[in-house]
Amino acid sequence: MMDSRTEKVTAYCIAIILFIIGMVCYAVSDTTPDSPIRVMFDGGNGGNVLFDHMEHYSVDAYGFDCIDCHHYFEEDSQDKPESCIVCHEPDIDDEEMPKRSDAFHSQCIGCHEDAGTAPAECSECHVM
């Protein structure tokens, strides 16, 4: 039978070994997805919008192509699509280019209206 000092030393050794194994496994794992799972859009004073990218992009859900939202993206390109803010900057003086919030509202709400799932209240999207 072990005494309490031996039990403590054994427990500490096991904890340290498990901690080291966990750190090594975490360090070598490459779990970064190719595309984002969720994106938090800065909604300004209206509140942020949490966008489920995988739900819209996945073929098991809506199955949109990248080009449906990232207008100038080439599907066979090795580059990642640029962020919306690259073209739809809030401070841009281009009259032809809609501001980011206007682009989101027309693109997102328009698509949801076509699908019959348009939000009735702002707080249905602007929740954060």
- What's the pLDDT tens digit per position in 9-31? 999 999 999 999 999 988 887 77
- What's the pLDDT tens digit per position in 84-100? 878 887 666 777 888 88
CB-based contact 26:42 (threshold 8 Å)? no
pLDDT of the residue at 24: 92
CB-based contact 59:66 (threshold 8 Å)? no
For the domain covering 39-124, report its CATH number: 3.90.10.10
Q: What is the percent of the chain where pLDDT is above 90?
A: 15
pLDDT of the residue at 22: 93
- Give the start-end residues of each E strand in 1-125: 39-41, 49-51
Which is it for the CA torsion 23, 24, 26, 32, positive or negative? positive
Q: What is the percent of the chain where pLDDT is above 70?
A: 91
CB-based contact 37:51 (threshold 8 Å)? no
